[in-house]
Amino acid sequence: MTSGAKQIRLNLLLNHLHKGRWRKLPAQVGLKTALVAEDLGLIESRGENLRARSYRLTSDGSAYLRLRVG
């Protein structure tokens, strides 16, 4: 996967989670993208099973989205 495709999937994930509530991953985004975003501090997760986890945006993730839009 190219860095452009990774960026698109990361943006899809962050936009999906922008409302601040706990949500599952969107269909277009894989677990690897979620783990990378979590390592970067852009999202947080809850749940034991990797596939059944819920995610939400962190304050850093919100700031990242604002920078991307503005």
Q: Which residue segment(s) compose the domain that 43 sits in?
A: 3-69
Q: 32 Cβ partners below 8 Å, 6+ apart?
A: none
Residue pLDDT, tens place only, 5-63: 899 999 999 999 998 899 999 999 999 999 999 999 999 999 999 889 999 999 999 99
Tokens of 6: 């990774």
Q: Cα–Cα distance between 67 and 49 in angstroms, integer? A: 32
Q: Cα–Cα distance between 10 and 6 in angstroms, integer? A: 6
What backbone torsions phi and psi does residue 44 show, to the nearest 5 degrees? -130, 160
What is the pLDDT at residue 46?
Answer: 96
Output the domain CATH number for residue 30: 1.10.10.10
**Single pTM value for the model:** 0.88
Number of domains in the chain: 1
Task: Note whether 29 and 13 are within 8 A (CB).
Answer: yes
